[in-house]
Structure 1
């Protein structure tokens, strides 16, 4: 039903310091024509693999997520170089965690988003994908039910059931309010865009379970019960 994550939108207070972080620190290059950017003067998009990472001033809806923890893919062999550059000349106070045989480093952007750079099987060079987003939710049961209807599969649960990890076109972690690794928090009013090959099925699935649902042409826009903004973009075959 869902084919891929088209974009993740983040709210930034000021574009210039945010752009310096993403373009100079993380070495990302902006691109024009992102489907998530309707006002280029107040937003910018960066391609990370097949997903756009979007920075957006809070002057409309969707605003973009606040204090969102998300994970970006880097080639495994580049990890030490990233660590040395970020902790050395750039002076970031990094956290590191190991997951099986893979390592991840954590740092914060100027707007308090916790950015994870994780060793992944990607080509690179540099950041080459987005593989996880953390959403803050009020009720794990309700959120888990909603996202499972969209095709996400629960693969892990945290202690005392404060988090649920779900696999889909991107890994979603659903967190009740708490501090996670590197004191990260789940994002609030996170803006996610998905590509789908069955937009009509998604509309039928979500009707009556979300706070709002609006179809315009090849897009379906929903706001879930936790205030997260979900946009579903039909591929050519699903329109």
Structure 2
């Protein structure tokens, strides 16, 4: 149903601090800049840093993961480790490093099979949810498939155009938290099917046209789906 992650939006206090971190520290290109937001290129996906001056807001304390090529990992570790307090975790044959941006978002750089150079996509976003079963069913009806359930039944990982981790409130790896009021954009062949699938369970429908729908999931995360 959903074919591609188009954007992830974060809430930031100061745009210049966000620009310094993402453009200078992480080497991301700026796609556009307006009065209240900057859009960075994460491969084909937009990372939007937005001041909290209107709705939708970006996500707060969001944990998410950038894709980097396998052979760049050591260079990233050496360079970022000069100024940041890094944490590292192994996932099978892949390794990820974790650091925090100026607004407290936990940023993961993980080895993925991408071309690069540098950051080349977003492969995971963590959402904080109140009722894990409810959220798992909601996203399953949008085409996500459950891939892993935590031993303590406090988190669920679901695969789709991006991996969604649904967390009840807790601290995860690198003391990360799931994001609240996260703003996600997706592409789909038929956006109207989103309302057909989950319209009876959304918190609100903020916009609806033939080629675009904007809804809030049961926990208030904003999902924009466009063709």
Q: Which TM-score band (shorter chain)?
A: over 0.9
Partner of 1:50: 44
Deviation of 1:217 (Å): 4.8
Q: CA RMSD in A?
A: 1.0
2:118 is the counterpart of 1:111: no
Deviation of 1:218 (Å): 2.1
The unaligned stretches of length 5 or more in structure 2 are none
Return the alpha-carbon distance in structure 2 between the equivalents of residues 120 and 211 of structure 1: 34
Structure having the higher helix fraction is: 1
After superposition, give the CA deviation of every residue in 1:94-147 in whole Å (9 maximum; x if it has no partner): 000000011000000000000000011111110011000000000000000100
Return the alpha-carbon distance in structure 2 between the equivalents of residues 219 and 58 of structure 1: 23
Aligned residues: 226
After superposition, give the CA deviation of every residue in 1:44-102 in whole Å (9 maximum; x if it has no partner): 111111210000000011100000000000011000000000112xx211000000011
Partner of 1:225: 218
Return the alpha-carbon distance in structure 2 between the equivalents of residues 167 and 61 of structure 1: 28
Partner of 1:167: 159
2:75 to 75, 78, 81: 81
| Higher alpha-carbon deviation: 202-211 or 171-180 | 202-211
Deviation of 1:160 (Å): 1.4
SS in 2 for 1:80: helix
Q: TM-score, normalised by structure 1?
A: 0.93
The unaligned stretches of length 5 or more in structure 1 are 235-239
Partner of 2:133: 141
Return the alpha-carbon distance in structure 2 between the equivalents of residues 157 and 50 of structure 1: 29
2:209 is the counterpart of 1:216: yes
2:15 is the counterpart of 1:12: no
Partner of 1:237: none
Q: TM-score, normalised by structure 2?
A: 0.98
Partner of 1:156: 148
Deviation of 1:216 (Å): 3.4
